[in-house]
Amino acid sequence: MKRSIITGTGKFIPQQVRKNDEFFSHRFFSEKQQQIDIPTTVIAEKFRQITGIEERRYADPDMTASTMGFEAAKIAIADSGIDPETLDYIIVAHNYGDIKCGEMQSDTVPSLASRIKHQLGIRNPSCIAYDILFGCPGWLQGVIQADLFSKAGASYRSLVIGTETLSRVVDHHDRDSMIFADGSGACVMEWKDSTELGPGILATAVRSDTLRELDFIDFGPSYIPGSDSRHRYIKMKGRKVYEYAISQVPAAMKTCLDKSGLAIGDLKKIFIHQANEKMDEVIIKNFYALYSQPIIPENIMPMSIQWLGNSSVATIPTLFDLVRRNEIEHHHINEGDVLLFASVGAGMNINAVCYRY
């Protein structure tokens, strides 16, 4: 049999470190544009307790989402050992395109995938480059699409990238601005021979909820009074996102695992979108509860949000690469390990992939 196998991974972690104390000088306002009369030190500490974030990474001024994606792609291609001219698809997940430092306008023409193909120097016209907008689950959706292309006989090798500069679309007067970060992650997928117990994608699951959930994460004006309403920033209804995620993500994860035919006890690692530490912990708890498993295995869920923040589409591929390279203490993966990837984000969209390493 053949399966889609990840043969290489790469990441680009920006060097600018922004710690929580750098937000102490900010003035925060509510959605109703009322100043929040709580010391920023208290706001930042409560934020850390809820999200787990102590610091995050911002891209250097000369970097954009596409240039970061290029850096991650180079590493993934080298790791896989393939000739980039043999790629059939380059799929780039993002949400805001290239935004130059100090500017607010999103640049998406040509696509980021086309720009990265250009930077890689790929001449092959049959290598199709395109972007995907799917909220934070975008990279994982790109993986699912690449798998479907292979199953349809349309692809043998794909490069899937998640890249974002959220620091350039945040409202510095919104407490949620402390969550977001920049980064890029990538993988090379190949359609290769496998066995019943061999590596590759075993099952996938996807859902979109767009009625009541549509505006849980969207674009809106700054919270500070007197701001220019034409300038818009990423906005999030945190409580609604939380309630949606902790109920719907575990169900999607269960659907995916059940489709694979494997048992909950077969899982060795869960790579979940690094959105909020407490939320992710509840998602995992609720997922195991669906199998009447009150005890969660130790070290099942690696985390990077504490020092990388929420870089949207880049969180899962970055985390996966960190663990593959043994760069997160107490977390390792071995041949034959069963992994579950899951993400949630604007749309609202959810997806999951069951994978044997």
| Domains of the chain, each with CATH number or no CATH | 2-193 (3.40.47.10), 200-356 (3.40.47.10)
Q: Residue 31: its pLDDT value, please?
A: 87
What is the rounded average pLDDT of the residues 208-217? 95
The per-residue pLDDT of the chain, averaged, comes to 95
pLDDT at 332: 94
Q: Pick the more confident residue, 23 or 124.
A: 124
pLDDT score of 316: 98
Distance CA 30, CA 206 (A): 33
pLDDT for 25 equals 85
Tens digit of each residue's pLDDT (9 = 90 or more) over 330-349: 999 999 999 999 999 999 99
Q: Is the pLDDT reported for residue 30 higher than 90? A: no
Q: How large is the average pLDDT for residues 27-32?
A: 87
pLDDT band at residue 99, thresholds of 50, 70 and 90?
very high
pLDDT at residue number 229 = 81
Average pLDDT over residues 190-208: 96
**Residue 287: pLDDT above 90?**
yes
* Contact predicate 166/180, CB 8 Å: yes
pLDDT, mean of residues 239-254: 97
* pLDDT score, position 33: 87
d(CA 311, CA 275): 8
Q: What pLDDT was estimated at residue 161? A: 98
- Strands 267-272 and 349-356: what pairing? unpaired
SS3 label, residue 75:
helix
294-328 per-position pLDDT tens digit: 889 999 999 999 999 999 999 999 999 999 999 99
Query: What is the pLDDT, as a whole number, of residue 5?
Result: 98
Q: Is the pLDDT of residue 103 over 90?
A: no
Q: Which H helix or E strand runs over 338?
A: strand 338-345
Contact 200, 193 (CB under 8 A): no
* Residue 32 reports pLDDT greater than 90: no
The contacts found for 318-325 with CB under 8 angstroms, 24 or more apart, are 318/11, 318/13, 318/183, 318/184, 318/185, 319/185, 319/271, 319/274, 320/9, 320/185, 320/187, 320/271, 321/9, 321/10, 321/11, 321/185, 322/11, 323/269, 323/271, 324/9
The predicted structure's pLDDT at residue 16: 96
Mean pLDDT score, 191-216: 95
Cis bond before residue 250 (omega within 30° of 0):
no
The pLDDT assigned to 102 comes to: 86
- Distance separating alpha carbons of residues 43 and 126, to the nearest angstrom: 52
* Residue 162, token pair as written in the block: 């998640």
Model pTM above 0.85: yes
CB 205 within 8 A of CB 36: no
pLDDT of residue 126: 97
- According to DSSP, residue 323 is labeled H
Split at pLDDT 50, 70, 90, the class of 227 is confident
Query: What is d(CA 233, CA 220) in angstroms, rounded to the nearest whole number?
Result: 5
d(CA 348, CA 243): 12
Report, as an integer, the average pLDDT of 11-31: 92
pLDDT of residue 226: 84
